[in-house]
């Protein structure tokens, strides 16, 4: 059997399965929209999922308002009206499409992006704190190597960690 024959068989089986099952767009209430890259970030696709059924219901190559509009135009007015909540990554093109096609839907940010943004903000604060501590350390007078001279006070020792061995009293 040749590969083009296998492809034709797969296409016919898929078509029969699609005709026999209910529409993947029926009963949409909570959906998620995001774009993802593939081919080492050189190509993109837009993906829509049904949160209630945990399944992908639509995807298309590319991203942007024109691509996402293709999904919403596949839906009937009733199907668009049934969508109550849309999770997204905060992209303006997603927000404008949702406002246009599902004006009554509540928009929320997906947890992945919330964690990602919080991690980025925390990393920025950490870098700033490190830079400030580094500047303070550089401004301190440098200590000469070796023991302090007679009559000179030794620098304060930093408190070290105390490790306990089983049976030690604190």
Distance CA 49, CA 40 (A): 23
Q: What does the pLDDT read at residue 165?
A: 60
Q: Which residues of 35-48 are buried (b: 16+ CB within 10 A; e: fewer)?
A: beeeeeeeebebbb
pTM passes above 0.85: no
Question: Does residue 46 carry a pLDDT above 90?
Answer: yes
In a domain, 105, yes or no: yes
User: Considering the chain, what is the average pLDDT of its residues?
Assistant: 85
CB 29 within 8 A of CB 53: no
**CB-based contacts of 63-69 (< 8 A; 24+ apart in sequence):** 63/35, 63/93, 64/93, 65/93, 65/96, 65/97, 68/33, 68/93, 68/94, 68/97, 69/97, 69/100, 69/101
Q: What does the pLDDT read at residue 168?
A: 59
Instruction: Please report, for the domain that includes residue 49, its CATH number.
Output: 3.30.420.10
Range of the domain at 99: 30-110
> How many structural domains comprise the chain?
1
Percent of the residues in the chain that have a pLDDT greater than 70, as a whole number: 85
pLDDT digit string, tens, across residues 91-111: 899 999 999 999 999 999 888
Distance CA 32, CA 110 (A): 8
Q: What does the pLDDT read at residue 132?
A: 93
Q: What number of other Cβ atoms are within 10 A of residue 14's Cβ?
A: 10
| Band (10; pLDDT cuts 50, 70, 90) | confident
In a domain, 80, yes or no: yes
């Amino acid at each position: 059997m040749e590969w083009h024959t296998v492809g034709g068989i797969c296409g016919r089986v898929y078509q029969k399965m699609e005709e026999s099952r209910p529409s993947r767009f029926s009963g949409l209430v909570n959906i998620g929209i995001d774009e993802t890259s593939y081919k080492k970030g050189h190509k993109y696709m837009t993906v829509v999922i049904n949160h209630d059924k945990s399944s992908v219901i639509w995807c298309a190559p590319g991203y942007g308002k024109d691509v996402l509009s293709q999904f919403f135009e596949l839906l009937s007015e009733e199907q668009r009206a049934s969508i109550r909540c849309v999770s997204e990554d905060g992209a303006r093109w997603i927000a404008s499409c949702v406002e246009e096609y599902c004006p009554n839907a509540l928009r929320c940010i997906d947890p992945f992006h919330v964690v990602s943004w919080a991690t980025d903000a925390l990393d920025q604060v950490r870098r700033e704190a490190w830079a400030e501590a580094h500047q303070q350390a550089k401004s301190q007078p440098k200590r000469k190597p070796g023991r302090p001279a007679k009559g000179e006070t030794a620098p304060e020792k930093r408190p070290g960690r105390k490790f306990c061995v089983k049976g030690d009293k604190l």
